[in-house]
Amino acid sequence: MDKVLITGAAGRVGRAIRPFLRERFALRHFDLLAVPDPDPREEVVVGDLNAPHDLRAALDGVDAVLHLACVHGLALSFEDSLDANYRATLALLEATREAGVNRFVYASSHHVFGAHRREGFDAATLPLAPDAHYGLGKAFGELACSMYAHRFGLRTLIVRIGNADPTVADDRALRLWVSARDLAELFAIGVAHPAIGYDVVYGVSTCPSPLFDDPVARRLGFQPRDRAEDHLDAGFVPYEAMPPRLGRDYVGGAYALTRLPTQLGDDA
């Protein structure tokens, strides 16, 4: 079994994918807090991505890295995202290179396109357009991964995750939802597929009128097993009933409409 280091493993996505990945890989979980209820087959390491000693210890003996760790939220400011979403990603990439680990899977987000309107949206032809500081940090992470992939040969898969909630809350989520099982399969492709160089795929299950087409994932053998329509929330909100503040007309939803925190201070 390949050993995979998962950063941010105590988070919601990390907890959801663990049962699927541990059947195929030896897992080492790394987070600021201990991962709850680990399986006996899973290692748990508590540490800080911005602490060089913690990083070296976490990477010792692993074959691949799955980088989930980040901070997010509608009110997230640039300053509050710097350590986790910028510095930590660069530190992890450099430590991965130094450790001789040659597989890196980066959990990006559909929010790198979030400022685009849904009508006429085509990810294959449109530029990145982050909707807020969370999406901006993810776009930075993709570029940092590209630098390490092309300069140092780090075999990297970028997974732009859609909506990874347990159920589908509204019409926007319906177009880009992904199950934990399908997301884990994409991560596994990034860890093990022999053809990975620097590739970008979309973390989505089978969705009606999907916002993202994914020929690269199909080329790599990804076949979604779950359907968004089978996982509607009990309070599912159709398009017509979605209030404007939810950003129903934008790829990034409410992130595209929320006021960005000022960088100049309250007195500017």
Catalytic residues: 134
Residue labelled with tokens 């019409």: 171
**Distance (Å, rounded) from C-alpha 260 to C-alpha 117?**
18
Q: 163, 212, 154: which is closest to 183 by C-alpha?
A: 163
Q: Which of 62, 72, 1, 76 is nearest to 30 (CA)?
A: 62
Residue 122: name the closest of 211, 29, 233, 8 by CA: 211
User: Maximum Cα–Cα distance for the chain, whole Å?
Assistant: 56
Structure tokens that stand for 222 in this block: 């990804």
CA gap 177, 186 in Å, rounded: 14
